[in-house]
Amino acid sequence: MHLTPGKNPRLWAALAGVLVVALPVLLAMRLASQQSQQQQERQAARLAAEVLNRSNEISRQIGRAQVALTLPTLQPCSPLHLQLMARMTAENPLIVAFGYVREDRLLCSTFGHHGAGLPIGAPDYRSRLNRDVRAARPLPGITNTQLVMSTEPVSGYTAIIHPDTALNFLTGDQNISLGVYNTTSKQPIAQRGSFDPDWAQHLNGKSEVQFFSGKHIVAFKHSDRYDFAAYAAIPVEEMDRGTAGLILLLVPLGIAAGFVLALLLFRYTQHRLSVLWHLRRTLRRRDDELFLVYQPVVDLNTGRWVGAEALMRWRRADGTLVSPDVFIPMAERNRLIGKITAEVIRLFIRDLQAVLREYPHFRVSLNFSASDLEDPDAPQRLHQAIVEAGLRHGNVQVEATERGLLDAERTRKVLRSLQDLGIRIAIDDFGTGYSSLSYLTTLKVDGLKIDKSFVETIGTDAATSQVVAHIIEMGKSLQLTMIAEGVETAAQADYLRARGVHHAQGWLYAKPMGATELAEGLKRQAGSA
Ligand code: G
Ligand code: G
Ligand code: MN
Buried b (16+ CB within 10 A) or exposed e, 110-121: bbeebeebbebe
Ligand in nearest proximity to the CA of 512: 2
Torsion over CA: 347, 351, 353, 359 (sign): negative
Ligand 2 and 432: CB distance under 6 A: no
Ligand 1 pocket test, pick from 312, 315, 341 with the greatest ligand atom count within 8 Å of Cβ, gives 312
**Residue 8 pLDDT grade (very low, low, confident, very high; cuts 50, 70, 90):** low
What average pLDDT does range 407-411 have in this prediction?
A: 78
Cβ-in-10-Å burial (0-12, 13-18, 19+) of 172 comes to exposed
Burial class (CB in 10 A: 0-12, 13-18, 19+), 314: buried
Measuring from atom 15 of ligand 1, which residue has the nearest CA?
Answer: 311
Q: Determine the distance separating the centroid of ligand 2 and the alpha carbon of 283, expressed in angstroms.
A: 24
- State the pLDDT at residue 1: 37
**C-beta 433 within 6 A of ligand 2:** no
Q: Find out whether the beta carbon of 262 lies less than 6 Å from any atom of ligand 1.
A: no
Q: Give the gyration radius of the chain's Cα atoms.
A: 47
In eight-state DSSP terms, residue 95 is: -
Is any atom of ligand 1 closer than 6 Å to the C-beta of 364?
no
Q: Whose CA is nearest to atom 21 of ligand 2?
A: 486
Residue with CA closest to ligand 2 atom 23 = 486
Angle, nearest 10°, between helix axes 79-91 and 9-69? 160
289 band by pLDDT with thresholds 50, 70 and 90: very high
In this prediction, residue 267 carries a pLDDT of 83
Q: How far is the CA of 326 from the centre of ligand 1 (A)?
A: 10
pLDDT in tens, 371-388: 999 999 999 999 999 999
Question: Is the model more confident about 503 or about 188?
Answer: 503
Mean pLDDT of 15-34: 79
CA 181-186-189 angle, to 5 degrees, is 35
Ligand of minimum distance to the alpha carbon of 398: 3
- Determine the distance separating the centroid of ligand 3 and the alpha carbon of 367, expressed in angstroms: 5
55 in Cβ contact with 228 (< 8 Å): yes
Ligand 1 atom nearest to CA at 399: 12
Rounded Cα distance, 216 and 210, in Å = 10
Q: What SS3 class is residue 462?
A: coil
pLDDT value, residue 246: 76
Contact 345, 383 (CB under 8 A): no
> Which residue's CA is the nearest one to ligand 2's atom 8?
486
Beta bridge partners of 443: none
pLDDT of residue 274: 82
CA-nearest residue, atom 14 of ligand 1: 311
40 closest CA partner among 156, 149, 163, 175: 175
Ligand 3 centroid distance, CA of 401 (Å): 8
Distance 323 CA to ligand 1 centre (A): 9
For the beta carbon of residue 24, count every other beta carbon within 10 angstroms.
23
Ligand 2 centroid–CA 357 distance in Å is: 27
Q: 301 to each of 94, 447, 499, 528, how far by Cα in Å?
A: 110, 17, 11, 16
Q: Which ligand is nearest to the CA of 447?
A: 3
Q: Does 63 contact ligand 1 (Cβ within 6 A)?
A: no
What pLDDT score does 436 carry?
56
Distance 477 CA to ligand 3 centre (A): 23
The overall average pLDDT reported for the chain is 90
80-84, 274-278, 492-496, 507-511: range with lowest mean pLDDT: 274-278
Any ligand 2 atom below 6 A from CB of 429: yes
pLDDT at 364 over 70: yes
* pLDDT of residue 130 exceeding 50: yes
| Ligand 1 atom 23, closest CA | 367
Alpha carbon dihedral 79, 80, 82, 88, in 10-degree steps, equals: 160
